[in-house]
Structure 1
Amino acid sequence: MDQIGRLIREYRERAGMTQSELAARWPRHARFGGGEGVNWKYIQDIEHGRKRIEDQTTLRKVCALLNIPLWRVGLSEYDPLSGVLSCASPFTRCFDLMELTLRQIWQLRKAALLREARQVLARLGSWLDVLQQELPPLQQRDQARFGHLLADYHCLRGVLAVDAGQYQQALAHYQQMEQLARQLNDPAVLAHALMNLGVEYDRRGELQRGIQYLEEACDFALEASKAWSVLVHSYLSRAYARAGEERRFLRANDTALRLSHVLAKNFIEDPD
């Protein structure tokens, strides 16, 4: 799968857009008449790397539409063709650095460098506290991006708390993540937050409460992507098994397997 295609899919899902919705707003090149609108299959081909965006002007417009930082697609904020500096927000570089820091913390955790991950996360938390107190009113796009960063931060805090056996702290961070996700109205973030809560309540032995959260997570996962649906249904099937609900376990497990086979087929067709 092409890296730019992955980014477009990631940010499309963050924005809560379907492929069809993005297709309707996709900027057409001037040689095709300009304006907006392409076939949704073209978006599918872009996201899976079967087609590439050759025109930089189109790529810049797509980045602006989905709020993708230009540096992530290898472009400068200065457009030499139009002479325009496209950094629309003074907070862009700050948010870019925060996003990069969160990704680095995830990598530290994957490498089992948990102490270092917690240290960097603590410094980032202090920075976020200052920003929340000092930031002036933000434009809608900046508010959404900052909200996503805060949700990612609380998710990571929760995961590291679980690693340390601090389950009550993890639950508190996942609850804050859920609040932010509902404000953002982002299906993927909501599915993630509700899934985390469901897993934690299941861990505490509150099986029905865990199932309630996981069932709600499934609803949002269906809006987000097949990958999220597979993950959430897998956890839900485990929760049903722990609760002794055999029929529901089989149904959730079958759904997870069916969707995973679809994903595997797509992967085989497009191994990049």
Structure 2
Amino acid sequence: MKYHHGVTIRDARESLNMTQAQLAEQWPQASGGTGVSVNYVSDVERGKKHITDQKTLRRLCNILQIPLWKVGLSDYDPSNPNTFCGTFMYDETLSTAESLIKRTWNLRRVMSLQYVEEAVDDLNRLFDSLKTDAPPPVRLDERFQILYAQLLRLNAVVDVENQRYDKALSKFKQMNEIAKAIDHPATLAMSYMNIGTELERMGKQEEAIDYLERARDESFRASKHIMVVTNAYLARVYASAGQKLKFERAINAAIRTAKSMDNFYYGDGTDFVFHSFSGVLAEKSYGHLEVRDPKETLLMKDEIKSQIALEGNIWLDAWIPLDWARAHLMLGQIDESVLAGIEFYQKAKKLGSPHAKSRAYRLLNTIESEGYSDIETVRNFRNMLDNEGDQDGLKELDARYPT
């Protein structure tokens, strides 16, 4: 049987134990009056006649206690400007949410953590309202689910920056469950990638590789943007596992694909990918360190600095000196390593990211553990960090997440 509004009207009438005759007496007229024949009610309920006047349909919903969304109407009534815009504004609200999510990702590149957190909090409130007020069909809509998955991803990123790594992993797994439920390749690939990245952070290399390879495989169903970012992160985890050949293949695939695209260099947000070309180069730089090729990392210095400046990415500008610090340390160039480490720490402070700052402490601990604690520049680095606060919590986290 084909669905029509009469089905909903009949079901509502029967649930109220109301007869067709009783409803006929109360039936609203467009003219403002009430009353129709019982035959008319019967014809409407059987789909032989249709209600075309929205005011009549609204008044009928009020009599029968029918939620407006069940008959394709919204809580918003054009004749009453004081009503709340419900499903009528659904598309507009989700478009606004999508725009805010993309702006928040852009904030992530150019502003400190405080501003990113504020934007994410605003989005959380918006989606809390949507989940509470929107009818079930809206909450199950694929577009809503995709956007909500991206909000989980943003929240997880904030968790990472605040060193809440377990909570971040949990949110990425929630994102993955949503992606699997709607079978959305881009969201699925990104969720696998993020889970793999967190597992790498925990030192679980084999699991990390498995998830990153799943992300790469899903990227073939998605877009080139997804292919670039998943290959870049897969290269990272291959390098962390010491698989040099696979690292080189994956990072070269990411770079070739990125260079074949006019709009990848600036992370335009296609499929919610904001990992621009400087980010791909940064994964290459990091990978060279992990496979013990520090000279290759230093050879990339000018190229990465130029690309970061072109994109205005202050987060990557803050992080990349850590690569140089590690490279100089591997080469026994301790003064240069400390100088790069100090640059990294000072920029990390401006980001307001405990996660970033903790890596400066880790760098110093590594320098000292390799026997350079008596060098004057190293002592000065130690004094500077000691004056910044207690390291105990940071050391504990380093023990739990060794990468």
TM-score in terms of structure 1 length: 0.59
* Partner in structure 2 of residue 131 of structure 1: 130
The residue correspondences of 1:84-95 to structure 2 (distance < 5 A) are 90-95=89-94
- Give the C-alpha shift of residue 133 in structure 1: 3.3
Whether the 8 Å CA contact 2:225–2:264 is kept in 1: the answer is no
Determine helix, strand or coil for the equivalent of 2:141: helix
**Which amino acid counterpart does residue 160 of structure 2 have in structure 1?**
V
- Give the C-alpha shift of residue 254 in structure 1: 3.5
The alpha-carbon distance between structure 1 residues 259 and 163, as it changes in their structure 2 partners (threshold 3 A), is same
The match for 1:149 among 136, 147, 150 is 147
* Partner in structure 1 of residue 199 of structure 2: 201
* Partner in structure 2 of residue 248 of structure 1: 246
Q: Does 1:100 align with 2:96?
A: no
Q: Distance in 2 between matches of 1:265 and 1:132?
A: 34
Q: Distance in 2 between matches of 1:176 and 1:231?
A: 20
Q: Distance in 2 between matches of 1:156 and 1:95?
A: 16
Q: Distance in 2 between matches of 1:266 and 1:176?
A: 27
Q: Distance in 1 between matches of 2:150 and 2:159?
A: 14
Q: Distance in 2 between matches of 1:251 and 1:207?
A: 18
Stretches of structure 1 that go unaligned for 5 or more consecutive residues are 1-87, 268-272
Number of residues of Structure 1 aligned to a counterpart in Structure 2: 179
- Provide, for residues 144-196 of structure 1, a one-character-per-residue CA deviation record: whole Å limited to 9, x for no partner: 11101101101111112222222112111111111111122111111111111
Which structure ranks higher in relative contact order (CA pairs < 8 Å, sequence separation ≥ 6)?
1
- Give the C-alpha shift of residue 221 in structure 1: 0.9
Q: Distance in 2 between matches of 1:104 and 1:230?
A: 21
* Partner in structure 1 of residue 234 of structure 2: 236
- Give the C-alpha shift of residue 90 in structure 1: 4.0
Whether the 8 Å CA contact 2:156–2:169 is kept in 1: the answer is yes
The residue correspondences of 1:1-272 to structure 2 (distance < 5 A) are 90-138=89-137, 143-263=141-261
* Partner in structure 2 of residue 16 of structure 1: none
Q: Distance in 2 between matches of 1:113 and 1:261?
A: 29
Which is worse superposed, 142-151 or 116-125?
Answer: 116-125
**Which amino acid counterpart does residue 204 of structure 1 have in structure 2?**
M
**Which amino acid counterpart does residue 109 of structure 2 have in structure 1?**
K
- Give the C-alpha shift of residue 89 in structure 1: 5.1
Q: Distance in 1 between matches of 2:117 and 2:263?
A: 38
- Give the C-alpha shift of residue 266 in structure 1: 9.9
The alpha-carbon distance between structure 1 residues 104 and 247, as it changes in their structure 2 partners (threshold 3 A), is closer
Q: Distance in 1 between matches of 2:257 and 2:101?
A: 29
**Which amino acid counterpart does residue 93 of structure 2 have in structure 1?**
C
The alpha-carbon distance between structure 1 residues 152 and 188, as it changes in their structure 2 partners (threshold 3 A), is same
Identity of aligned residues (%): 31
The alpha-carbon distance between structure 1 residues 89 and 222, as it changes in their structure 2 partners (threshold 3 A), is farther
Give me the CA root mean square deviation.
2.6
- Give the C-alpha shift of residue 106 in structure 1: 2.5
Stretches of structure 2 that go unaligned for 5 or more consecutive residues are 1-86, 266-403
Larger radius of gyration: 2
TM-score in terms of structure 2 length: 0.41
**Which amino acid counterpart does residue 98 of structure 1 have in structure 2?**
A
The alpha-carbon distance between structure 1 residues 251 and 103, as it changes in their structure 2 partners (threshold 3 A), is closer
**Which amino acid counterpart does residue 183 of structure 1 have in structure 2?**
A
Q: Distance in 2 between matches of 1:254 and 1:104?
A: 30
**Which amino acid counterpart does residue 217 of structure 2 have in structure 1?**
D
Q: Distance in 2 between matches of 1:260 and 1:167?
A: 29
Determine helix, strand or coil for the equivalent of 1:223: coil
Whether the 8 Å CA contact 2:138–2:144 is kept in 1: the answer is no
**Which amino acid counterpart does residue 251 of structure 1 have in structure 2?**
R
